[in-house]
């Protein structure tokens, strides 16, 4: 069993099973960042920088959240990030709904 090094900054070793894309960080960027003590995510509020930050968060969100916040276990981390992912999908769905509705209203 791996030692839980979460919340130890650069000393924290990301468990292999957590090294994957994070949709919650991608879609909810700044909000996700505050909730996961990953304040670099606030750069997603800066125009032009935001698209690059969203991609960086998707790629590195799990690593940054693991390093910046203390978690009870890998399972706890996965459970919390799964909730963020579901919320991210919900936001995407709402966005798509209004985008399609607006597109239809144009015609």
How many CA atoms, within 13 angstroms, populate the side-chain half-sphere of residue 45? 9
Max CA separation in the chain (angstroms)? 59
Q: pTM for this one?
A: 0.86
The mean per-residue pLDDT over the stretch 20-26 comes to 96
Q: C-alpha distances in angstroms, 44 versus 7, 13, 49, 81? A: 22, 25, 6, 19
Q: Does the structure show a pLDDT above 90 at 31? A: yes
User: What is the model's pLDDT at position 107?
Assistant: 85
Q: Tell me the angle at which helices 49-68 and 74-106 cross, rounded to the nearest 10 degrees.
A: 160
Asked if residues 6 and 77 have their Cβ atoms less than 8 Å apart, the reply is yes
28, 88 Cβ separation under 8 angstroms: yes
Q: How far apart are CA 77 and CA 86, in angstroms?
A: 14
The pLDDT tens digits for 46-95 are 999 999 999 999 999 999 999 999 999 999 999 999 999 999 999 999 99
């Amino acid at each position: 069993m791996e030692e839980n090094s979460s919340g130890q900054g650069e000393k924290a070793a990301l468990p292999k099973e957590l090294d994957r894309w994070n949709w919650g960080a991608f879609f909810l960027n700044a909000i996700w960042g505050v909730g996961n003590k990953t304040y670099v995510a606030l750069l997603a509020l800066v125009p032009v920088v935001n698209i690059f930050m969203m991609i960086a968060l998707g790629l590195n969100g799990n690593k940054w959240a693991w390093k910046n916040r203390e978690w009870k276990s890998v399972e706890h981390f996965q459970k919390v990030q799964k909730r963020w992912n579901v919320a991210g999908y919900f936001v995407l769905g709402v966005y798509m709904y209004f985008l399609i509705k607006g597109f239809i209203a144009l015609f």
